[in-house]
Structure 1
Amino acid sequence: MFTGFGDAAVDFYEGLEADNSKAYWSDHRHLYDEHVRAPMQDLLLALEPEFGEGRIFRPYRDVRFAKDKRPYKTQCGATAGPHYVQLSADGVMVAVGYYAMVPAQVARYRAAVDDERHGPELEGIVAGLHDDGFTVAGDRLKTRPRGTDPDHPRLDLLRHRSLYAWQSWEPSDELHTPALVERIATTWRRLDPLGRWLDDHVGVTLDDAAQDVRRRR
């Protein structure tokens, strides 16, 4: 049963931001396990009946090809399908969407955006989320996709190579209470039209997953 994140959760990440070292991690690993990871597991279990099984991302960064060699992530992120939740020193962030898409997914996405029925549907979803205070983001081309009409009515959406919407809340007493479950669930429900549109028109296939694995190696 989720009772809230531990009292030391935010302090743990503030310390990790200041000292992202193996020594800090080893000395404070018990705080991560007790105040961050275990509550995150309970949170996902509380959300699972409505949103499906969740998965917590590993706390270690892949630094093999990165200029930034800090070994540990300064947030605990988890997913349940297209739904995302993250805890860090800045509080809680929730999102829905596709954070990264392989080329085949991008092609399907742009074909759907260009479609005169599906494209305006996404345009309306995004506009509604903007109006409700959500941030719509994603990797985007600085110019337009090759062969696209410069006057295309949904040119801004066609530039996207990934698409998601998010909202965050600063640390507060709510972070340490069961009430956080319903706040996250309510936000995910509001974001669900975006997730459903992406699932319906972009989706993930076994080929896409294989491409993604090769790309991340």
Structure 2
Amino acid sequence: MSFEGFPDEGLVFYEGLEADNSKTYWTRHKAAYDGCVRAPMQALVDELAAEFGTAKVFRPYRDVRFGHDKTPYKTSQGAVVTVDGRGPGAWYVQLSAGGLLVGGGCWRLESDQVARYRRAVADDVQGARLRAEVDRLTRAGWGIGGDRLVRLPPGFDVDDGRADLLRHRSLHAARHWDPTGWLHDRRALEEVRTAWRDLVPLNAWFADNVGASTAEPRARR
């Protein structure tokens, strides 16, 4: 199946799910999810696989074991591409009633990866490389996010414009488009492809400086 856009029925499906996140609604409208959300998302990432790798399309069901929100279904459909053995860098795409979101970088670092990340940021060459890349993405309209500390971590004292980077425990870039006409045709594929290409240098920095983790994973909550 080739990607021909996300049908408007997919966005309407999520508008309804936000209003009625119940098994009754889900069962009644599952055909819309299958045909207008999941199928085109799978088609999109399949067409990008030759350049970026095979994607994982996330399940629509929420993990309700933790937290107070017990609604059973996610109100967005996401997919992620990670490069096995090359560290935490990834490409992400998400559809919801609010439109299309793309992102890249790392959303989670284990303890050994955090240590390597901080050493690289403190390094004059690699730290300057990341600083330049984050600044370039910001100028291009990307939002920079990630888990971060309030203060600099102990043992680091960088006073050359990289202190904000040192506070990060993860770092990713994202951009969002509101619902628009091209979301329903093949231009959506090209927008995601172009955005993901823009994130290649950021993911390359993580591959070169952080790499895969050998530490015990932190417990998920």
With the shorter chain as reference, the TM-score category is: over 0.9
- Choose from 92, 95, 99 the match for 2:100: 92
Structure 1 spans left out of the alignment, 5+ residues: none
d(CA) in 2 for partners of 1:124, 1:151: 16
Aligned residues: 213
- Choose from 167, 171, 177 the match for 2:175: 167
d(CA) in 2 for partners of 1:120, 1:105: 19
Cross-structure match for 1:12: 13
d(CA) in 2 for partners of 1:61, 1:163: 24
**SS of the counterpart of 2:124?**
coil
Q: Letter of the aligned partner of 1:211 in structure 2?
A: P
Which range moved further: 1-10 or 145-154? 145-154
- The structure 1 segments of at least 4 consecutive aligned residues displaced by more than 6 Å after TM superposition are none
Q: Give the deviation of 1:103 after TM superposition.
A: 1.3
In the TM superposition, 1:62-141 aligns within 5 A as 62-81=63-82, 82-141=90-149
d(CA) in 2 for partners of 1:203, 1:51: 18
**SS of the counterpart of 2:93?**
strand
TM-score norm. by structure 2 comes to: 0.92
Cross-structure match for 2:26: 25
d(CA) in 1 for partners of 2:30, 2:175: 28
Larger helix proportion of the pair: 1
Cross-structure match for 2:86: none
Structure 2 spans left out of the alignment, 5+ residues: 83-89
Whether 1:216 and 2:220 are equivalent positions in the alignment is yes
Whether 1:200 and 2:208 are equivalent positions in the alignment is yes
d(CA) in 1 for partners of 2:211, 2:98: 31
d(CA) in 1 for partners of 2:14, 2:212: 33
